[in-house]
Amino acid sequence: MDPAKLELLLEQQLKLIQMLMETKVTPHLQPSTSSSTTAPSVDGIANSIAEFHYDPDSNVTFEMWFRRYEDLFKFDFANQDDAWKVRLLLRKLGANELDKYCNLILPLNPRDRSFADTVQTLSQHFGDNSSLFNTRYRCLKLTMNEDDDFLTHVGVVNRECERFRLKSLTEDQFKALILICSLQHQKFSDLRTRLLSRLDQEPKLTLSDIANEYQCLINLQRDTSMVQSGGSSRSEVRAVQQTPHKNKHVPASSSPSHSSSRRQTKATPPAPCWQCGAWHYVRNCPFNQHRCKKCKVIGHKDGFCLRKKTPSQSRNTKNTLPRSRTNSLSLVSSCQSSSPSQRKFITVNINGHSSKLQIDTASDVTILSRKTWIKMGSPNLQRTTQKPRTACGNYLHLLGQMECTVTFRDSAFVGVCYITPADLNLLGLDWFDHLNLAGVPLNTICNLVSQPQL
């Protein structure tokens, strides 16, 4: 074959192959051009996503908001890098939310964090911060209003029940939940706080653990009261137990010698000195030779004057005193005939209410009137078996007893007072000791109210 013809044939074949190659490559380039023209813009995507504003009370959290657009970031923007996704996500945060997020991640910048870390941080700080107990309690308290849509309410119930975590709830946890929900009275506020704090730390809290926690709280309150009273509560209980024993078995003739031996062994007297009000025996009073500037009588401090009694009043006092001492309670100041010309009052806070009480060191207990009790909001009363007598020998009618919190200056304790229908407000020895008023001059803490002579 002629070499010239062979060379011409090869050139024609090369041109044909080149034409075939061009026809095959051109269809593959067309889709890339179309895909580049349909690529979504940032502005178009931003317009399709609603702005996020954190509102936990309405259950508008970042987790609920991101759930709506999660597939958009996961599938539609799969080819986009993290930086582009982070910029888009931060553009859809509200002004307050974006400012809080930027402050939380300092000293880092938002562009320095990945998309996954950004979503995790936003879910943590703009999520539902309610405790599990709060979620379960609200689920049990769900109600449907008459204007609510039924299908919407069904969805709310289904959502709250899922948040309730019913599958992980054990029998003991359900019992503990019901018990804590039943402690609604103000009296159990401290116990509720302790139990909720422990339930948050120990989700598997049982009824036995709650009972032990309650006993620990009671013991703590008793120990606190004992420390505040200086350990005097134990001696007071012993005195009440010994009083009936003395009345039943000790004859009247031998009681003086027995009482004298007790006075020698006791370091402190049972009542303040009537000559000056200090906590010592009358024989040790420094005002035994003092002349009062008011009544000019020797033997007592200025202002501690006593009204002169008639012989009939003296006989009545002698007759009534032994009878009142046979009881565990006594109320000397409730008898008008034995009242001093000047009464001393002290203002204390009882359950947060300011109350003015008359100091009566001859009374074993503290008495409040019905009017004072009503002004305090009429707290619950308990039955009492106490039957106090007045200095006149009459029984004082009681409506009941009340446990209350008493504060005066820097002192505070939990005590018991008795409610009477009479217009009588007395601070007895029980509260007098708890407030540590024995070593304090009464004139510095009391209000003197003069009573006209009849």
CA 353 to chain centre: 18
Spatial neighbors of 130 by CB under 8 A, at least 6 apart, are 56, 138
Point out the least confidently predicted range of 14-18, 171-175, 260-264, 405-409.
Answer: 260-264
Average pLDDT value over all residues in the chain = 75
What is the arithmetic mean of pLDDT over 384-388? 84
What is the arithmetic mean of pLDDT over 214-242? 65
| DSSP, res 198 | H
Share of the chain above pLDDT 90, in %: 4
Instruction: Please state, in angstroms and as integers, the Cα–Cα distance from residue 97 to each residue in 37, 52, 68, following that order.
Output: 35, 8, 18
What is the arithmetic mean of pLDDT over 386-399? 80
Residue 40: which pLDDT band, with cuts at 50, 70 and 90? Answer: low
Quote the CA–CA distance of 37 and 79 in Å, as a whole number: 16
What is the arithmetic mean of pLDDT over 98-118? 89
What pLDDT score does 30 carry? Answer: 47
- Whether residue 328 contacts residue 322, with contact meaning beta carbons closer than 8 Å, is answered with no
- Is pLDDT above 60 for 5? yes
What is the arithmetic mean of pLDDT over 414-424? 90
Element (H, E) at 111: none
Quote the CA–CA distance of 398 and 387 in Å, as a whole number: 8
- Whether residue 355 contacts residue 372, with contact meaning beta carbons closer than 8 Å, is answered with yes
Strand-pair partners of 403: 416
What pLDDT score does 444 carry? Answer: 62
- Whether residue 325 contacts residue 250, with contact meaning beta carbons closer than 8 Å, is answered with no
Return the top range by mean pLDDT from 50-64, 301-315, 419-433. Answer: 419-433
Strand-pair partners of 420: 369
Quote the CA–CA distance of 102 and 97 in Å, as a whole number: 9
**The tokens of 448 are what?**
């003197």
Q: Could you read off the pLDDT of 88-98 as tens digits, one per residue? A: 888 888 889 89
Which residue is it, tokens 């703009």? 126
Quote the CA–CA distance of 3 and 212 in Å, as a whole number: 112
Q: Which residue has the higher pLDDT, 127 or 122?
A: 122
Quote the CA–CA distance of 101 and 114 in Å, as a whole number: 14
User: 97-132 as b/e, with b when 16 or more CB fall inside 10 Å?
Assistant: beeebeeeeeeeebeebebeebbebbeeebeeeeeb
Which residue is it, tokens 């503290």? 366
What pLDDT score does 41 carry? Answer: 60
What is the arithmetic mean of pLDDT over 124-138? 80
What pLDDT score does 82 carry? Answer: 85
- Whether residue 430 contacts residue 366, with contact meaning beta carbons closer than 8 Å, is answered with yes
**Domain annotation for the chain: domains and CATH numbers:** 42-125 (no CATH), 267-306 (no CATH), 327-450 (2.40.70.10)
What pLDDT score does 1 carry? Answer: 61
Q: How many CB atoms lie within 10 A of CB 360?
A: 26
Share of the chain above pLDDT 70, in %: 73
Spatial neighbors of 219 by CB under 8 A, at least 6 apart, are none
What pLDDT score does 194 carry? Answer: 83
Quote the CA–CA distance of 200 and 197 in Å, as a whole number: 5
Residue 276 identity: C
Quote the CA–CA distance of 350 and 408 in Å, as a whole number: 9
What pLDDT score does 368 carry? Answer: 93
Q: At what angle do helices 132-140 and 171-182 cross, to 10 degrees?
A: 70
Q: Could you read off the pLDDT of 294-334 as tens digits, one per residue? A: 888 888 887 777 654 444 444 444 444 444 333 445 554 44
- Is pLDDT above 50 for 261? no
- Is pLDDT above 80 for 62? yes
What is the arithmetic mean of pLDDT over 385-392? 79
- Whether residue 406 contacts residue 415, with contact meaning beta carbons closer than 8 Å, is answered with yes
Residue 242: which pLDDT band, with cuts at 50, 70 and 90? Answer: very low
Dihedral of CA atoms 413, 416, 421, 426 in degrees, nearest 10, equals -50
Nearest to 157 by CA among 142, 147, 135, 177: 142
Q: Could you read off the pLDDT of 187-210 as tens digits, one per residue? A: 888 888 888 888 878 878 888 888
Q: Which residue has the higher pLDDT, 296 or 265?
A: 296
DSSP codes of every residue in 294-350: TT--BSS-TT---PPPPHHHHHHHHHHHHHHHTSS-EEGGGSGGG--SEEEEEEEEE
What pLDDT score does 233 carry? Answer: 44
What pLDDT score does 446 carry? Answer: 65
Residue 31: which pLDDT band, with cuts at 50, 70 and 90? Answer: very low
Point out the least confidently predicted range of 96-110, 169-183, 248-262.
Answer: 248-262
Report strand pairing: 353-359 vs 426-427: parallel
| Secondary structure class of 144 (helix, strand, coil) | coil
Point out the least confidently predicted range of 138-142, 183-187, 200-204, 353-357.
Answer: 200-204
Return the top range by mean pLDDT from 112-126, 195-209, 428-442. Answer: 112-126
